[in-house]
Amino acid sequence: MDRIWATWRMAYISDKKHKYEGCIFCDFPKAEKDQEYKILYRGKLAYIIMNAYPYSNGHLMVIPYRHTNDFTSLSNEEAKEIMALGQLAIKALKKAYNPDGFNVGWNLGEVAGAGIAQHIHMHVVPRWNGDTNFMPVIGDVRVIPEDLAVGYNKIKKAIEEIEQNE
Question: Of 130, 77, 126, 119, whose CA–CA distance to 104 is shortest?
Answer: 126
Going residue by residue through the chain, which has 166 residues, state the pLDDT in tens, using 9 for 90 and above: 456 666 666 666 666 555 567 899 999 999 989 999 999 999 999 999 999 888 888 999 999 999 999 999 999 999 999 999 999 999 999 999 999 999 999 999 888 888 888 999 999 999 988 766 544 544 555 666 688 889 999 999 999 999 998 8
Backbone dihedral region for residue 109 (phi beyond 0: left; psi -120 to 50: alpha; all else: beta) = left
Instruction: Write the DSSP string, 65-100.
Output: SS--S-GGG--HHHHHHHHHHHHHHHHHHHHHH--S
Q: Count Cα atoms within 13 angstroms, Cβ side, for 158.
A: 19
pLDDT given at position 138: 47
Using CB atoms within 10 Å of the CB of residue 131, give its burial: 0 to 12 exposed, 13 to 18 middle, 19+ buried: middle
Using CB atoms within 10 Å of the CB of residue 111, give its burial: 0 to 12 exposed, 13 to 18 middle, 19+ buried: exposed
The catalytically annotated residue of 18, 67, 121, 123 is: 121
121 tagged catalytic: yes
pLDDT given at position 17: 54
Structural domains of the chain ordered from first start? 25-165 (3.30.428.10)
